[in-house]
Amino acid sequence: SYVLTQPPSVSVAPGQTARISCGGDNVGSKNVHWYQQKPGQAPAVVIYYDGDRPSGIPERFSGSNSGHTATLTISRVEAGDEADYYCQVWDGNSGHRVFGGGTKLIVL
Amino acid sequence: QVQLQESGPGLVKPSGTLSLTCAVSGASISSSNWWIWIRQPPGKGLEWIGEIYYNGITNYNSSLKSRVTISLDKSKNQFSLKLSSVTAADTAVYYCATLRAPATNYFDFWGQGTLVTVSS
């Protein structure tokens, strides 16, 4: 089955840029979606189709996807961005929807 | 705006069957879309369980396929999850979710989640 690999945690100071990676075999050929989950809440999409933002998501959130790695970039990080972030794809070979293991963003 | 609400027992005995329902408002489950179950063990990541299309076609995670059944109740505009032979490893927050449109492949609408604990 298809596997997406994320770092367990990423630490960044306020105002800096956070980059969260999502690795998978030729993931660049798939559409990657990113979710933010705060404690006690359901996840919410912050990036879909590699780099599109839903309405209401700040422009500080962006995404890219190429080769074997997709990346969620959060510019000018704020304390309120501290959360768990998950990448997700649809694997056409299996017909399954797959999540990465999640990355905890720590704002120092 | 689509709203989803999970309901069901919060405690299930080992070897029993977990049964949850997701009530849908703001959309009809008879319209073309996928209706999805996802779970999250305490302190762990998200796991896609499976889904059902409006016409009854199902798609299950291979790791759970032998124990999972997802069904539609169009009269009540809700869909359900049954997971049999549960163990402590099935303790999790269970979410129902759906897509903005059937081909979009990302989860735009989520329920608030319901914690199910497997314990005697």
Q: CB of B21 within 8 Å of any CB in chain A?
A: no
Quote the tokens at residue A66: 């190429």
- Answer whether B45 sits within 8 Å of A86, measured CB to CB: yes
Asked if A57 and A43 touch (Cβ cutoff 8 Å), the reply is no
At A23 the pLDDT is 98
Minimal C-alpha gap between A16 and chain B (Å)? 26
Average pLDDT over residues B92-108: 93
Digit-coded pLDDT (tens) for B7-52: 999 999 999 999 999 999 999 999 999 999 999 999 999 999 999 9
pLDDT (tens digit per residue) in A10-57: 999 999 999 999 999 999 999 999 999 999 999 999 999 999 999 999
Strand order in the sheet with A18-23: A18-23, A69-74, A61-66
Min Cα distance A74 → chain B (Å) is 20
- On average, the pLDDT of chain A sits at 97
Degrees to nearest 5, angle at CA B51 with B48 and B55? 170
CA atoms within 13 A on the CB side of B51: 22
Nearest CA in chain A to B60: A96
Do residues B69 and B19 touch, judged by C-beta distance below 8 A?
no
- Coil, strand or helix at A81: helix
Tell me how far apart the alpha carbons of residues B64 and A40 are, in angstroms, rounded to a whole number.
Answer: 25
